[in-house]
Each structure stands twice: as structure tokens, then as C-alpha cells.
Chains A and B, each alone.
Chain A
């Protein structure tokens, strides 16, 4: 137990010392995760909203597939993206393997179904409420889609948050396609895995504390935003 407390003490020391190596790792983690979530939202929000808004043949099947893909194992996604980006893979010539871009792609593949599936659920509930009024007004497909996305905006923030939570905590996919190369593709989760196996618990714990703090701060911000939206009956 002593080693835990001394590791924790050292970890807090590292955090407050703004250790440059630590800051680099945190910075890369945030850059990779936020970019991946942004692209996942750009694809997943309209996709999920379309499935939730429109009636088309095979709609239920699409919804089932999206829901199933939410549970994609990160290592499997890592492996697939690795195969696609490896020298002999279809995107091999782009030389993306072991770069932050590869990690962004892997996380995007992982998070997009989560965003799409949760968006579909949110928008489907809203569609039930709005559909008759929209049909009466003669709202066209594009207006309907954008209205759904806008009117569900606060619920969709929580959806993006779920995607962020998955991406920021994920280690299996990014370690396969990123390779955990120091100063290049080393992020918080891969560092924790590496430092723990090396026995350097101090750095691992420091990163763990920061990861938790970031997750806590982002969640608190979104909850606060939602609470104000609920007061306006916008959520």
C-alpha cells in the first residue's frame, strides 16, 4: 500500500510540475480523440438521424447493424485498420501506419457506429412527436433532417460525449495501428499500459488521474449545458 501512496504522491507532483513529456502525451491524446470524435460525428449524426427520421426498406436491419457495431472490440478494429494501412494493404501507399492519423482512423471506425446508433434512437423518439406536424406543414426531407438534428441538439451532445468517452479510454486499437512510439504515437492509455508493465507506476498513475479528471470535466460541462437546456424545455 505504501508504494501506491508514494506513486500517487509522485504522480501529483508530475501533474503540477507540468512535465513536458507528460504534456506531450496528453496533447496527442486529446488531438487524436477529439479529431476522431469530430469525424465520427460528421458521419454518425446525419447517418443516425436519417435512419431515425425516414422510413425505407431495410431500416430495421440498418438499425440492428448499427447497434451491433456499437460493441466492436477495439483490438479487432485495430487489426482491420492495420491490415488496410499496412504496406501490402489497399491504403498501404499512403504510409499512414504508426502515425497519429492511423490512430484517428481506428478510433473513428470505433466511435462512428456508437454516435450513429445513439443518434438514431434519440431522433426516432423525436420523430414520433414531430412527424404528424411536419407532414401537415409539408416539411421536405432535408428540412426534416436538419430540424431533427437541431431540435435534438442537447441529447446529441450526450451522444458525442459517449463517443468521446469510448475514444479517450480506448487502448487496444491505437496501440496496434499507432505502435506506441515515443514522441510520435504515444498517448495516455498506451503509456499507462507500457509504464505499468515496466513497473513505472508513478507515471502510469499520474496519467490515470489526468484521464479521470478530463473525463470528469467533460462530463460535468455537458451535464451543465443540458441542465440549462432542460430549464428552457429545449432538451
Chain B
């Protein structure tokens, strides 16, 4: 509970305890519906500067959706998202970056991909070329700089998209299952880059399905189930000794059917 507060009785006190100065992103009572279905409901959390937060949960639990909302790519139906205490604006998004599950690379060379991202931020000349050089070196892609980005291997493409995001010097980096399609070596390379960035002070929010990755990277864990926060706390603790039924079910590889069964017992029926 160091960096994350969640809905329920504990959230208010946790939010109060959290140092207001170091809270980077704060989400309160977030809700979102689409096609008549409630996809996110009453989500409260706060992400502190320099932390590594993992978002986990089964498919369709709203992880990617939540990530997109915190990044400002989607507007919530209800609730607020505060970036350093102020509403999340387009300018604020310049202090954030996101790496997607499938890297979206421009139909250009590796170098031109980095150049484009930095130009968008208004960087030119010497500073831009310095940053490109160091990003290429960090990703181990210097020898491939002139290659078309889209003929790189999956691992190289994701490394490029990660260093492209980091080259823009974000305070907060969102990653949406960045290693879902990668082999163990490529996954390790991505994880190392993420940890290095975090050591430099970049706050990390990462969605993953991989419990091993959660243990390697996580400080704090938010577990979503059916668009609600099911459990939250230090990653080790939530994974090793889950308190909630959804996390226990997920850990055992069972399908969690929700509290519906209980509700059905309570339901007296209508008219009979």
C-alpha cells in the first residue's frame, strides 16, 4: 500500500497519508461504459512519483482501458484523473509516454522513427541527434539505425518502441503488455530497460499477465476484476498470499465467476 490506494474504506485514509507533493497521478471514482456495458466502475488509485505499479487481471477486466484513460487517450464517463494535482490536459500528456503491446512503428528507418518522436517534442539539431544516439545505444540497435524499422525482429521492434518513448524524457511511462509476444531473452531485455528507466526516476505503470514478470518488476500491484479493483498491495504479498477470491482464482488458474452465485441465492425471485 505504499504507492497505491484503492476504492473501499481504506482509500480515503491512504490518500490522506500519501504525500501530496509526490503523488503523480490520481484517479478517483473512475467509471466507463460502452455498448451498454459497464467496463470500469468506481476505480480509485494514486500513483506516486518514482514507483513501479503493475496492473493485472483476466482478459476483459479493464486493464488496457484503465491505462488508456490514465494516459488521456480515452475520456472517462465519470470520475476524475488528476496529473500532479491538476486535470489531465494535452500538455500534461507530453510528460507521459506509452508503449503498446504491438509496437506501432512508422514506415521509416529505425533512426527516422526516433527522429520523428523527438521532432514532435520540438527537439532539433545537436540535442536531437545526441538523444537519438544514446537511445540507439541503450536499445543495442546502433548497428541497425539505417534499417527499415518494420523488418526488425519482434524483440528489436519493441525495444525500439520503448527507447523511442523514453527518448522523450517522460515522467511516467505506461506499458501495455509490452512482452506478451516476446521470447524470454527479448522479455529480459525489455524488463532491464524498464528497470533502468525507473532507476533514473521514471515512474512505471505496467499491465501484464505474467506472474513472473510481476514479481521481477512489481513494487505495487492492482488487480482488476470485471472493471473493479479486486485487490491491491505490494506485488509479492498479493501474489503469494492473495486476500481476495478473484486473485486466488487467477492464481490457481480457475475462472472466477464473481459473486453472482451468492446473489442468486439471495435473490428471492419475482412473483413466485
Contacts and interface: CB of A to CB of B under 8 A. Distances in A.
Interface centre among B71, B100, B106, B150, by most chain A C-beta atoms within 10 angstroms, is: B106
Interface in A219-235: 232-235
State which size class the interface on B falls in.
20 to 34
Interface centre among B96, B107, B117, B148, by most chain A C-beta atoms within 10 angstroms, is: B107
B148 to A, nearest CB: 4
Chain A interface mostly: helix
Interface centre among A130, A132, A133, A151, by most chain B C-beta atoms within 10 angstroms, is: A133
Given A136-B97, A137-B168, A138-B94, A235 B107 contact: yes
Nearest to B92: A138
Contact of A137 (B107, B108, B117): B117
Given A136-B71, A138-B93, A147-B116, A233 B151 contact: yes
A214 B132 CA distance: 44
B10 interface: no
B271 to A, nearest CB: 47
B109 to A, nearest CB: 9
Nearest to A154: B107
Contacts of B149: 233
Contacts, number: 48
Chain B interface mostly: mixed
A233 B116 contact: no
Nearest to A126: B107
Interface centre among A129, A136, A140, by most chain B C-beta atoms within 10 angstroms, is: A136
A143 interface: yes
B150 A133 contact: no
Nearest to A132: B73
Given A136-B98, A232-B150, A234-B148, 17 more contacts: A132-B73, A132-B100, A133-B100, A133-B104, A135-B73, A136-B93, A136-B97, A137-B168, A138-B120, A139-B120, A140-B120, A143-B119, A150-B108, A232-B151, A233-B107, A233-B149, A233-B151
13 contacts: A132-B68, A132-B100, A133-B100, A135-B73, A136-B93, A137-B168, A138-B93, A138-B94, A147-B106, A147-B116, A233-B107, A234-B108, A234-B148
Q: Rank and list the top 5 A-B pairs by shortest CB-CB distance, nearest first.
A: A233-B150, A133-B104, A232-B148, A136-B98, A151-B107
